[in-house]
Amino acid sequence: MIRPLSFLLIFILSTVASQAQWTRDSLLLRTIYDEALARGEAYDNLRTLTKGIGHRLSGSESAAQAMKWGQSVMDSYGADRTWIMPVIVPSWTRGDLAEASFVGSDGEIYALHITALGGSVGTRNDGVIEAPVLTVKRLDELSVDSDVDATGKIILFNRAMDPVLINTGAAYGGAIDQRGNGASVAAAKGAVAVLVRSLTHALDTLPHTGALRYNDEMPRIPAAAISTVDASWLAATALADPDAVVRLQMNCKAFEDVEQGNVIGEWTGAEKPNEIITIGGHLDSWDIGEGAHDDGAGVVHTLEALRILKAIGYQPKRTIRFVLFINEENGNRGGKEYARQAAIENAETEIVHLAAMESDAGGFVPRGFRIDADDAATEVVRGWSELFDAYNVHQFRRGGAGVDISPLKSLKPRPTLLGLSPDGQRYFDFHHSSQDIFENVHKRELELGAATFAAALVLLDQHLPSPK
């Protein structure tokens, strides 16, 4: 009789302790959300970043201004120390000329809505390229073995994002190859330029930019994004009028790389200071909008997490690093350099990078988290579901946690990676376009995201097991 009673007592004590911990966590999350919603500064910080500084293209003066601003905010919020981790980044300008028009065989001219893809070369000597259009939907239509003749033509890549995928990020990923690799694939077949259908579900006349990657073994030809409405119209009209041409002129230009850097604020842990939890977003943005959702929201989520936890008197167990990454949009050099430095820390010191969390999916209402971790850590995160239920945060899915923190996967032991996952149905309406501006971010949704980000940080700090 003694042994069963002992087991029963242990079970009761364990249950009581677990319930007490849940109650403490629940009250802590409530305090975090109250602070974010009643006294939050994320929205005002986003206004300063977008309206006071503006776009933050890597290598630009405005990106350098944003670095100084981000470090000053971390200092004012009480980080133990702040610094800039140097990163060599590309420097490129869109210029002030990006024009295209369709010239029918009858002589009628129709203006097209375009913008240069990031990193594109301009038209030679800023002159005009005039050529017939060939429409394709897949890169393999221009494979070396295909019989398609693209010589002297402008290629229109007209594959739309898959409309039946509920996950808009997956739809974006399924169409991004034409933007990233299309110019070099087309050049290999003799094309003189490419137009790429904008990566958005929206049917409008807004071109959406984004990075391309040139293959150094192929000629570099101009590449521009074209709006979805114009892409559909051009594909149909050019097919019906094979003698028509498109005129294209751009004066974008690349310069020598420059030094900028990741902005880092550190808060030393009280119990396990050698275990690092990194949270962040990327400071750079494209230059045709203000980078409000991508990724101004992630920047202010990161800063607000620091402010909230200081305001409520939280003391972290682990050391927390708040990182504003540079150059996510056109190279991810900031994320790669941070991981490189982390690997050096792991090898040469007792520091262990335990976890990292990223916000880079917009300032919309938070729905959950993307988890990139082993089974044990995944179950720890999924165990938060009841705590977050009161805040309508329900998704705990495995998948890509984020571009900036993904290079950390190479570390040993491998860190637990999380990505804040807001509702994504409208994200690509604004993404990389002129409409990614402060006015299109909802104050309460941004604050809810900041609170959710800070709450997850606390739960990682409190409950993620130390590596064995």
Query: Would you state the pLDDT for residue 5?
Result: 61
| CATH 3.40.630.10, the chain: domain bounds | 33-92+256-463
How far are the Cα atoms of 53, 68, 223, 435 from residue 289, in angstroms, in the given order?
12, 21, 19, 6
For residue 144, what pLDDT is reported?
A: 82
Residues of the chain with CATH 3.50.30.30: 95-251
pLDDT in tens, 270-282: 999 999 999 999 9
Of residues 256, 230, 277, the one with CA closest to residue 113: 230
- Phi then psi for 382, rounded to 5 degrees? -65, -20
Which has the closest alpha carbon to 316: 269, 381, 251, 263?
A: 269
Q: Name the amino acid, one letter, at 24.
A: R
Q: Tell me what pLDDT residue 158 has.
A: 98
Angle at 210 between CA 207 and CA 211, to 5 degrees: 145
What pLDDT is stored for residue 1 in this prediction? 46
CATH code of the region 95-251: 3.50.30.30
Amino acid 318: pLDDT: 98
Domain 33-92+256-463 has CATH 3.40.630.10: yes
Cα–Cα dist 330/285, whole Å: 9
Low-confidence ranges of the chain (pLDDT < 70): 1-18
Number of residues written out for the chain: 468
pLDDT tens by residue, 358-403: 999 999 999 999 999 999 999 999 999 999 999 999 999 998 899 9
Summarize pLDDT for 206-258 with one digit per residue, the tens: 999 999 999 999 999 999 999 999 999 999 999 999 999 999 999 999 999 99
Residue 258, beta-bridge partner list: 89
The residue whose two tokens read 């739309």 is: 160
pLDDT of residue 19: 77
* 450 in Cβ contact with 308 (< 8 Å): yes
Specify the pTM.
0.94
